[in-house]
């Protein structure tokens, strides 16, 4: 048990399934009061009913006020978990780029904009961003996802740098493959890069609990991602060549 989570008021976006639902179950198991958000109202209600939580369906970008009201006036932990991919490259139309950017980055910005005044006034709050290892590395076959996940990591890092001394705790959760609907829709790239080491959503939720307990910014459900991150930073050309070999495998060349 993470003592600090008992009676905490928690909001989780994209929690109708996958990682979000696993987080909702785990936070509820720790004694937190949980708002389950999802664009799919039925999925949000099903998870909320299961855990004794509160369903607040709708677009993840605009549910802070409603979630705050449902919890009785305040939010202690906000999990910006909703995310989308495109399985497209630079050829993706602007509408696709804009949608992925809006969900994967701007939803985090908009939520923070609403949360920070409350958190700064009382000197505490916790922002948990589900980023993906694509934010540390890249994801072959999906340019919008890779780019926006880098931006989501950068935004979480900026929040931590800017507000750490004022009681704001920030975590960036960066798993590789996780057995969810998103992975099942990731096509050949997902099969090649992510499926061999894929873990369960519950494994991610467990890693988040440990990360919160240890007050770690970077939460890596796949610990090996740290080695890849170091390799990318210290010998970038070699790392790019290695990832290009993966790309050539995808192309059958």
Beta bridge partners of 10: 34, 77
Q: Which helix (H) or strand (E) holds 218?
A: strand 218-219
**Active-site residue set:** 145
> Residue 111 CB: number of other CB atoms within 10 A?
24
Residue whose pair of structure tokens reads 């061999």 in the numeric block:
196
Q: Is 94 exposed, middle or buried (0-12, 13-18, 19+ CB in 10 A)?
A: exposed
Q: State the angle between helix axes of 143-163 and 94-101 in degrees (0 to 180), rounded to the nearest 10.
A: 30
Structure-block tokens of residue 217 = 């910014």
> Residue 53 CB: number of other CB atoms within 10 A?
24
């Amino acid at each position: 048990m993470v003592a600090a989570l008992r009676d905490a008021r928690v909001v989780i976006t994209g929690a109708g399934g996958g990682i979000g639902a696993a987080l909702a179950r785990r936070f509820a198991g720790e004694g937190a009061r949980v708002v389950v958000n999802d664009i799919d109202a039925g999925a949000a209600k099903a998870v909320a009913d299961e855990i004794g939580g509160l369903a607040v369906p709708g677009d993840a970008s605009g549910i802070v006020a409603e979630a705050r009201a449902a919890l009785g006036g305040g939010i202690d932990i906000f999990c910006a978990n909703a995310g989308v991919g495109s399985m497209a490259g630079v050829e993706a139309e602007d509408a696709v780029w804009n949608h992925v950017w809006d969900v994967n980055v701007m939803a985090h910005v908009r939520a923070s904009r609403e949360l920070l005044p409350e958190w700064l006034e009382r000197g505490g709050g916790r922002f948990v961003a589900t980023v993906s290892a694509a934010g540390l590395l890249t994801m072959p076959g999906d340019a919008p996802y890779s780019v926006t996940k880098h931006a989501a990591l950068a935004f979480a890092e900026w929040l931590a740098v800017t507000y750490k001394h004022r009681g704001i705790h920030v975590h960036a959760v960066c798993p590789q493959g996780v057995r969810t609907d998103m992975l099942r829709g990731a096509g050949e790239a997902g099969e090649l890069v992510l499926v061999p080491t894929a873990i369960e959503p519950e494994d991610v939720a467990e890693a988040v609990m440990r990360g919160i307990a240890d007050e770690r910014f970077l939460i890596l459900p796949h610990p090996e991602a740290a080695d890849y991150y170091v390799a990318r930073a210290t010998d970038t050309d070699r790392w790019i060549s290695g990832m290009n070999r993966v790309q050539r495998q995808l192309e059958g060349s």
